[in-house]
Amino acid sequence: MPLDVHVIPCLEDNYAYLIRCSKTGRTAIVDTPDAQTILEEAEKIGWPIDEIWNTHHHWDHAGGNDAIRAKTAARVVAARAETHKIGHVDTPVGHGDRVRLGEMEAEVLDVGGHTSGHIAFYFPQADTVFTGDALFNLGCGRMFEGDARQFLASLQRIKHLPGDTSIYCGHEYTLKNGEFALTVDPDNALLRTYVENAREKRAQDKPTVPSTVNAERGANPFLRPEDEHIRRELGMEDASDVEVFAELRKRKDAF
Would the annotation count 133 as a binding residue? yes
* DSSP string computed for 99-116: EEETTEEEEEEE-TTSST
Residue 57 labelled as part of a binding site: no
User: What SS3 state is found at 169?
Assistant: strand
* Nearest-angstrom CA–CA distance, 64 and 87: 12
84 assigned to active site = no
Among the listed residues 61, 95, 110, 118, the single catalytic one is: 61
**Residue 61 labeled ligand binder:** yes
Could you say which of 60, 95, 110, 118 is catalytic?
A: 60
What is the DSSP-derived secondary structure letter of residue 201? H
Q: Is 238 a catalytic residue?
A: no
Task: Determine if residue 56 is labeled as part of a ligand binding site.
Answer: yes
Q: Are 129 and 166 in contact (CB under 8 A)?
A: yes
Q: From CA 187, how far away is CA 95, in angstroms rounded?
A: 37
Task: Give the active site residue among 57, 58, 95, 118.
Answer: 58
114 is in an annotated binding site: yes
How many CB atoms neighbour CB 144 within 10 A? 13
Residue 1 Cα distances to 24, 28, 166, angstroms: 13, 16, 12
114 counts as catalytic: yes
**Among candidates 138, 146, 118, 143, which has minimal Cα distance to 58?**
118
CA-based max dimension of the chain: 56
CA atoms of 143 and 114, how far apart (whole Å): 5
Please indicate whether residue 88 is annotated as part of the active site. no
The packing angle between helices 148-159 and 241-253, to 10°, is: 100
The answer to the question of whether 171 is labelled as a binding residue is yes
Active site annotation includes 61: yes
Q: Give which of 39, 240, 40 is closest to 153, Cα–Cα.
A: 240
- The active-site residue, picked from 31, 34, 50, 56, is 56
Q: Catalytic residue numbers?
A: 56, 58, 60-61, 114, 133, 171
Q: What residues are designated binding site for Zn(2+)?
A: 56, 58, 60-61, 114, 133, 171
Q: What residues are designated binding site?
A: 56, 58, 60-61, 114, 133, 171
